[in-house]
A and B are shown apart, each in its own frame.
Chain A
Amino acid sequence: MAKWGMTIDLDRCTACQACVTACQVENNLPPTGPEEARQGRNFTWMEMIPFEGEGERPKGIERLLPRPCLHCDNPPCVKVCPVEATFKNEEGIVGQIFSRCIGCRYCTTACPYTARYFNWNEPQWPSPMNRPLNPDVSVRTKGVVEKCTLCHHRLQNARDQARAENRPLHDGEYTPACVESCPAGAMVFGDLSAPNSEVSKLAHSRRAYKLLEDLGTEPKVIYLREGE
């Protein structure tokens, strides 16, 4: 059974935010306006987190760290969900069934990476942005929490294609939109349980580190330290 994960190389990331835009389009995230931003109600499943850079650069320079849901192996959000709307599946993806969510927001509080977002309003797209919604992804309604699903629908489609051709799923056939869009090649996605996969090798390199590792959440999105 595959264990899907991702590495993000902070040396390669230019903070261009192509991943943010790709994620929004792929997963039917409505644009939020200045009013929502003032209230702290913006949401992007892939968010750029400001942090202070390391290495040769002058201290104090602000850098941006792309942060999707980290799909923890020990996810705090799953433990607190009273209706089992969020869960970790066999392949390690922390899923969210939007129609089951009751909007209690325990999970948004429990997530130490602030990777969960509550829908304060009904989603709205100005025309013509409302036309090309992705039919493989639902449109979430007001009052539910949502998060990155590692573009699970892409896994489904890739697996369907492989089954139709009577062959196993090959490495690289399933890639989330953020990874696919990265022009700098900073993100590598794949099976962490396969010792020879690129993502697995990078995840075990000396530059690898996990966000807030001491919490024991065991995230499967692993960062590669910059400046080495």
Chain B
Amino acid sequence: MLRTASMFVILIVVVGFVTIVYGIAFRSERIVQPIAFNHVVHLDGAGMQCIECHMDAETGVSAGLPGKRICYDCHDIDDEANTHPEKDKLFAFDEQDMDIPWQRVAITRPDVYFSHRRHVTSGKLECTECHRDQPTLLTPPSTARLVMPMDACIQCHKKSGVSSDCLACHR
């Protein structure tokens, strides 16, 4: 009985140790955006489209992240009535003469070639097909948002009848 109990304790200790080591080794890197951008307010509230900020989505490989000038098209730098805490952050970048250092949350593997133009313009895919609930987020994601397994790509390619040639995606 005593032996069983000690075996159980050792098992608990080993499992706990492995869990902690695994958690440290494989924890996902937290991403902190410079401004707490609210997608819902801009898309649903202001009626904007994704392409208005991610301007290269229809023409480029990368969709692009918005520069501060795009923000200034709508946000008045001299509007003192606007007391939103994120406003000061936005204008602080202007004073430092630097653009907003957005952190990318959707990064493809180095051996994968993903062209937004190919999927958005030629494939007529909606952004949410891959970026899922991104438009419904009130705050920026703190971890990499896009986990796209190759199986998902293959399934969609087969369903759409487009090339599943390895060279079409791998570079």
List B contacts of A97 (CB < 8 A). Answer: 111, 166-167, 170
Q: Which of B9-47 contact A (CB under 8 A)?
A: none
> In the complex, are the beta carbons of A156 and B122 less than 8 A apart?
no
CB pair B171–A136 under 8 Å, yes or no, is yes
For A99, list chain B residues within 8 Å (CB): 109, 111, 170
Contact residues of B between 106 and 131, Cβ < 8 Å to A: 109-111, 113, 115, 117-118, 121-122
Interface of B is mostly: loop
Tell me how many residue pairs across A and B have CB atoms closer than 8 Å: 48
- Bound Cα distance A127, B106 (Å): 29
B167, A93: Cβ atoms closer than 8 Å? yes
How many residues on the A side are at the interface (Cβ–Cβ under 8 A)?
21
Partner of A137, one of B59, B61, B171: B171
Q: Complex formed: what's the CA distance from A102 to B109 in Å? A: 18
Mark A153-183 against chain B: 1 for CB-CB distance below 8 A, else 0: 1001000100110000000000000000000
| B165 partner residues in chain A, CB cutoff 8 A | 89-90, 95
Partner of A156, one of B59, B109, B121, B168: B168
Q: Assess whether A152 is in contact with B167, with CB atoms less than 8 Å apart.
A: yes
**Are A95 and B171 in contact, with the CB atoms below 8 A?**
no
Given known A160-B118, A163-B121, A163-B122, contact A95–B111 (CB-CB < 8 A): no
Q: Is the interface of A mostly helix, strand, loop or mixed?
A: loop
**Distance in Å from the Cβ of A17 to the closest Cβ of chain B?**
25
The distance from the CB of A152 to the nearest CB of chain B, in whole angstroms, is 5
Q: Would you give the 0/1 interface string for B127-171, flagging 1 where the beta carbon is closer than 8 Å to chain A?
A: 000000000000000000000000000000000000101111011
CA distance A209 to B167 in the complex (A): 29
**Set of chain B residues within 8 Å of A160, measured between Cβ atoms:** 115, 117-118, 122
Give chain A's interface residues, CB within 8 Å of chain B.
87, 89-90, 93, 95, 97-100, 135-139, 149, 152-153, 156, 160, 163-164
Extra pairs beyond A97-B111, A163-B118 (17, CB < 8 Å): A89-B166, A95-B165, A95-B166, A97-B166, A97-B167, A97-B170, A99-B170, A138-B111, A138-B170, A138-B171, A139-B110, A156-B115, A156-B118, A156-B168, A160-B115, A163-B122, A164-B59
Interface residues in chain B, defined as those with a beta carbon under 8 Å from any beta carbon in chain A: 59, 61, 109-111, 113, 115, 117-118, 121-122, 163, 165-168, 170-171
- Of the A-B pairs whose beta carbons lie under 8 Å apart in the complex, a sample of 16, sorted by A's number, is A90-B163, A95-B165, A97-B111, A97-B166, A97-B167, A98-B111, A99-B111, A99-B170, A136-B113, A138-B170, A138-B171, A153-B171, A156-B115, A160-B118, A163-B121, A164-B117
